[in-house]
Amino acid sequence: MDRFLLLQLAAMQCHPMMCNNGAVQMPAGSCVNLVNNTLYLEPCKDNNKPFCDSGTDVSYCTANPLFPEELSYPGEPCNKKKHCKYGECLEGYCQSKALKEDCNLDEECNPGLYCSNNKCVKQLELGATGCKSDYECVNWAACSEGECIQYFSLPANASTSRCFSQFSELCAGGMCWQGLCIDPVQSFNESALPRKCNSYMDCTSEASSHRVFYSDCMCGMNPEGASYCTLFPGDLIYAHLITVITNWINSEMSDRCNTVRRLSSYCISQFWDKPNSEELFLYYYRTYFYPQLQGNDDCIKDIFTGFYWDTIATITHAKYMFFSSLIIVYLLA
């Protein structure tokens, strides 16, 4: 089972969870055991069964799950082991349908194109009208009421038809209300984050134009069994994520992705430099898994949230190596 799905399933239960450390008897081969409303954890030690599968009251160590082969889309890197979903691998990249060639799906066309009336045609530029989906617009624009509009570009008080749960990827700060872009709000007393909660009523924003907004109260993954408030778009972590996503979308590198892959983690990692792509993934995790990342003990990190802590370790190591090389250059100068 996908690690993110496993994380979400576990987080829905709102149980305290912690390293077992001999507290309870674990069933043979198990990694998670629910006893008296507490999830006791033991990371998998068998190299042949390193993966903690999802269960109800008990989860067991299994071999790593076999996922379908992830194929490269047009424009993405390919080789003898990484095959193309469409077209063929030429000079290390997947080449598929070119301009005016026959197609059935947007994802069949090479970067810069989409499928219209069974022909690959150029993506619509900013301000162009007549679009029906984001994929018809250039990679840094979304389709809103038939017009291609740049992501995160509309100022406060601009109207937007794309406003879901107070978020719009068209508004400059990512936040909207009743069909209008608004300045993004912060959590009440942001400096006191993370905020524990019992319901969404505990998760308030700072007042904005005499309005107070609410975020969600979500189960955490910690020995206390505490729940935490999710972030608002104006909070520093969330705001930084929007900045990094905007940097990617507006970069020349995003043009190298097929239109349906404009925000694909694989395409981003292949064409954006490593520091930037890792920063994007790091802040994505920090934003969207914020409640689940608070107060993790070592076993929670190992079984559920390793994707985040491994990313931090990778970035920290890279920075260490960079500064070490600078010191060596300085000493040898």
Report if residue 328 sits inside a domain.
yes
Report if residue 309 sits inside a domain.
yes
pTM: 0.86
Report if residue 127 sits inside a domain.
no
pLDDT computed for residue 69 by the predictor: 82
The count of structural domains within the chain is 1
pLDDT computed for residue 320 by the predictor: 37
Residue numbers of the domain that contains 311:
3-67+296-332
Taking 70 as the pLDDT cut, the residues of the chain under it are 1-13, 316-333
Q: Tell me how crowded residue 207 is: count the other CB atoms within 10 A of its CB.
A: 11
Report if residue 306 sits inside a domain.
yes
Report if residue 14 sits inside a domain.
yes
> CB–CB of 16/224 below 8 Å?
yes
The pair of structure tokens assigned to 53 is 């599968």
Spatial separation of the C-alpha atoms in residues 287 and 97, rounded to whole Å: 37
Closest CA to 178 of 159, 191, 192: 159
Q: 38 - beta bridge partners?
A: 35
Report if residue 11 sits inside a domain.
yes
pLDDT computed for residue 314 by the predictor: 85
Closest CA to 218 of 204, 232, 230, 207: 230
pLDDT computed for residue 64 by the predictor: 86
